[in-house]
Chain A
Amino acid sequence: MFTATTIAILLTMSLAIARMCIGPTIYDRVLAVNMFGTKTVLLIAVLGYLIGRPDFLDIALVYALINFIGTIAVLKFLRYGGFGDTHEMDTQDVDDKSNLSDGGPQ
């Protein structure tokens, strides 16, 4: 039964990858990457049971943390163009639509 769940999660991950490749806007890609990350957490958890090593859950827990921080960091970078103090860059991108259709992975 863990095998079936693993296959289902892998299927979902491949659907997310497909969206990541075709996604017309950069936000589709970020969304797909985030979803891929959450599914990775589940995959690690189920995989631990599949091969009889529930210690893998610690890795899943850490991966959940990294995935969230990563998504937020990418979005912040997209919006403000930097990771630091962004108060002075606040309105830089609001009218700039050039980053919507990026045409390829950046």
Chain B
Amino acid sequence: MEVANSIIVWASLLTGSLFAVIGGIGVLRLPDVYTRLHGAGITDTMGAGLILFGLAVHEGFTLITVKLVLIFIFLIITSPASSNAVANAAHSSGLRPMLDSDLKNKASSNSGARS
């Protein structure tokens, strides 16, 4: 029981960390602000969710777990709200999203070298 518990804790903490770093890479790597929102979305859902889940399993059924759950609920409610606020503000300021066709044109003009 103890072993299974700590395996779950390990697995969720490490997977959550992995997803958080992947989301961070996405924020750095993706081409424009709208696509970067998706990278931030990964860290907010999967990263935060799995890390907090791991901590909750480590803690067991106590009042501290309730705080972890509350943090999770709060992140889950606010993350789409702030993502939508960023997207909406960018869109209404006239910033056009980089669409598929733009990407293809860019890739053909400078052989796809982008950081």
Q: Do chains A and B touch in the complex (CB under 8 A)?
A: yes
Residue from the list B36, B43, B58 in contact with A28, Cβ < 8 A: B36
- Chain A interfacial residues counted at CB < 8 A: 50
Task: With both chains docked as a complex, state the minimum distance between the C-beta of A11 and any C-beta of chain B, in angstroms.
Answer: 6
Is B79 in contact with chain A by the CB < 8 A criterion?
A: yes
**CB–CB A64/B58 < 8 A:** no
Is B68 in contact with chain A by the CB < 8 A criterion?
A: yes
Question: What are 17 residue pairs bridging A and B, where the CB atoms are less than 8 Å apart in the complex?
Answer: A4-B17, A5-B13, A8-B17, A15-B27, A25-B90, A30-B89, A31-B37, A35-B27, A38-B79, A45-B71, A46-B51, A60-B67, A68-B74, A78-B89, A78-B93, A79-B93, A95-B94
**CB–CB A39/B71 < 8 A:** no
Residue from the list B47, B58, B71, B85 in contact with A49, Cβ < 8 A: B58
Is A86 in contact with chain B by the CB < 8 A criterion?
A: no
Q: Cα distance A46–B25 when bound, in Å?
A: 21
